[in-house]
Amino acid sequence: MDQLLSLLTEDARLTNAELASALSISEDEVAARIADYEARGVIKGYKAIVDWDKTDRDYVNARIEIKVIPKKGMGFEEIASIISRFEEVESVYLMSGTCDIALTVSGKSFKDVAMFVARRLSPLESVQSTSTSFVLRTYKELGVFVALDEEDEREVASL
Amino acid sequence: MMDYNSILSRQVQEIKPSGIRRFFELAAEMEDVISLGVGEPDFKTPWAIRQAGITSLERGRTHYSPNAGFQELKREICRYLERRMDLHYTPEETMVTVGGSEGIDMLIRAIISPGDEVLIPEPCYVSYDPIARLTGAKVVPIRTRFEDDFRLTADALRAAITEKSKLLIFPFPNNPTGGIMEREDLEEIAEVLRDTNIFVLSDEIYAELTYGDKKHVSIASIPGMKERTVVINGFSKTYAMTGWRLGYAVGPQPIIQQMIKIHQFAIMCAPTTSQLAAVEALRSCDDEIEAMRDEYDMRGKYLVGELNRIGLDCFEPQGAFYVFPSIRSTGLSSDEFCERLLREEHVAVIPGSAFGECGEGHVRISYCYSLKHLKIAVGKMEAFLKKLKEEKHEAAES
Ligand SMILES: Cc1ncc(COP(=O)(O)O)c(C=O)c1O
């Protein structure tokens, strides 16, 4: 894998100068490669990972697994595309195993999420069944510890 | 009242207490220290190795091992050295030790008689000098210089040799400088040593950590050198196994046998759990070594770039995981620099003088930390340097 991508997935806020040092290339080259990744849609975006429990935002997050009965003109792709367009939906995956599509949804309250399932998801014709589980606590997100502290157990100094 | 000074041996009393004790204590007392001071990996030991340790405990393998280490492990060590270092040893020429530290101790004790001279290129790791002194050796430091990329030159070596010279400590890749020795350099050193009776302790604990296309070359692989060299290596740095306390020494059988003899009386054997885990390390973790190395490489380059940007000159490390910038431009001694940086910005780096007198004017900064951590620390160092500059300015004006 390109180390530039691995650095950016570790910390997207490294400056071009810092990336250039770490990779032993010029800042111009860093800028050009990032621009290319963005243009080709390899890099889709940059977002902060927030521990919402530490803010005043009301936030609940649920994971919903759905079983789909594909119909003519309404296969997995189409159904995923419809679901992806709801703004409450954070991620959508085609799955192997017992469900067909899994998604994560967020809202201000449990009720918001319940309403989303009742009003938006269940009525979709191809959706055979849904199974909703609420997230109670987030320990780790996108490789970053959230509710856990990652402690450095080493001595402060050793020779 | 006991007079403890009369109880303690003269040699022990003569070993100067590590000059940075006080500094360590200060750092340990502070709560929110941002440390760049460690000499050990931040990575956890790869899971397969930990699992092998757990499995050995579950099976109840909790007894002493043979003095020189499990045969299975010694065999794997030889295979590893063959595969990755182009070194050819047999299990009979191998002993398993409690860290590289013990290997250093055993070799020095096995070959030094009082009055022998031990040649130590400095700056270097801190254990060779006191251990040599305990055996009654005379320590002869050889200075390595920034201008030579901190390599040991044949001229400097030649100038330090007398007919009492017994042992050359060969600490490359080097802690704290990041200097390495390439094949041509080694050949020149070998040329100097070939006509002498000087033995070599090659501390290759950082052998897997060299950067760019500069792969480590062991001095024992240079013609004529194997017979006069003991190679010290270990699992601490290569496999992120510092707490397991495991290392090894390979060398001519007559020397290794005597080292095993002392080891048998002093230590009995290296920890069994660690030895069994290490077998797994040698068998299945070459990829992990490389992944960790690539990560250090990136961090090191990042750090050098940033240190240069904030105005500290440094040599780009070619091995190990430290940078050793000069702090002379600040006008402070390395002790003063470190103490003020710790007190004022809560960042801990190690004074270069801890690694030998000629380390004065430098500090050692470890990059066994995530980029995120390094970035925060560099920000604080930048603020500190700016403050120093302003102070100087004000002093000049008044
Ligand atoms: C150059 C050098 N040699 C040997 C050691 C000892 O390592 P261990 O006893 O953990 O193998 C160290 C540890 O910092 C070191 O830097």
Three-class SS string for B250-283?
ECCHHHHHHHHHHHHHHCCCCCHHHHHHHHHHHH
Question: Which chain B residues touch A152 with a CB distance below 8 Å?
Answer: 35, 42
Q: Which CATH architecture has domain B4-44+287-386?
A: Alpha-Beta Complex (3.90)
Interface test with B, best of A21, A23, A144, A150 (most B CBs within 10 A): A21
Identify any residues that bridge with A144 across adjacent strands, giving them in sequence order: A141
**Are the beta carbons of A21 and B302 separated by less than 8 Å?**
yes
What mean pLDDT is predicted for residues A116-120? 95
**Are the beta carbons of A21 and B294 separated by less than 8 Å?**
no
**B84 contacts: CB under 8 Å, gap ≥ 6:** B208, B286
**Are the beta carbons of B294 and A3 separated by less than 8 Å?**
yes
For residue B175, the CA-to-ligand 1 centroid distance in Å is 9
pLDDT of residue A151: 85
pLDDT of residue B24: 84
Low-confidence ranges of chain B (pLDDT < 50): none
B347 with B33: CB under 8 angstroms? yes
- Average predicted confidence (pLDDT) for chain A: 94
Å from B219 to nearest chain A CA?
A: 24
What is the spatial order of strands in the sheet that B322-323 belongs to?
B322-323, B363-366, B350-351
**B195 contacts: CB under 8 Å, gap ≥ 6:** none
Radius of gyration of chain A (CA): 20
Strands A127-134 and A89-94: unpaired
**Residue B65: which of B267, B280, B284, B283 has the closest Cα?**
B267
Of B27, B355, B371, nearest to A157 by CB-CB distance is B27
pTM: 0.92
Amino acid in the structure at residue B21:
R
* Whether the domain at B4-44+287-386 and the domain at B61-284 fall into the same CATH topology: no
pLDDT of residue B217: 98
Ligand 1 binding pocket mutation candidate from B169, B175, B180, B235 (most atoms within 8 A of CB): B175
Please state, for a pLDDT cut of 70, what percent of chain A lies above it: 100
Q: How large is the ipTM?
A: 0.83
Confidence grade of residue A1 (pLDDT, cut at 50, 70, 90): confident
Give B241's DSSP letter.
Answer: -
Query: Given CA atoms B323, B324, B330, B333 in this order, what sign does their dihedral have?
Result: positive
**Residue A60: which of A100, A106, A124 has the closest Cα?**
A106
**Are the beta carbons of A18 and B375 separated by less than 8 Å?**
yes
Ligand 1 binding pocket mutation candidate from B105, B124, B202, B205 (most atoms within 8 A of CB): B205
**B377 contacts: CB under 8 Å, gap ≥ 6:** B34, B36, B347, B369
d(CA B198, CA B169): 10
Give ∠ CA A40-A42-A43 in degrees, rounded to 5: 110
User: Between 2.40.30.10, 3.40.50.720, 3.40.640.10, 3.40.50.300, what CATH number should domain B61-284 receive?
Assistant: 3.40.640.10
**Is the CB of residue B234 below 6 angstroms from any atom belonging to ligand 1?**
yes
Helix (H, G, I), strand (E, B), or coil: what is residue B326?
A: strand
Query: What ranges do the domains of chain B cover?
Result: 4-44+287-386, 61-284
pLDDT of residue B19: 64
Chain A residue nearest residue B34, CA to CA: A156
pLDDT of residue B257: 98
Of B27, B302, B306, nearest to A156 by CB-CB distance is B27
**Are the beta carbons of B24 and A154 separated by less than 8 Å?**
no
Å from A150 to nearest chain B CA?
A: 12
**Are the beta carbons of B294 and A11 separated by less than 8 Å?**
no
Task: Kindly report, residue by residue over B135-192, the tens digit of the pLDDT.
Answer: 999 999 999 999 999 999 999 999 999 999 999 999 999 999 999 999 999 999 999 9
pLDDT of residue B37: 93
Domains, chain A, ranges and CATH?
Answer: 3-39 (1.10.10), 52-138 (3.30.70.920)
Question: Which chain B residues touch A21 with a CB distance below 8 Å?
Answer: 301-306
Task: Kindly report, residue by residue over A133-151, the tens digit of the pLDDT.
Answer: 999 999 999 989 998 888 8
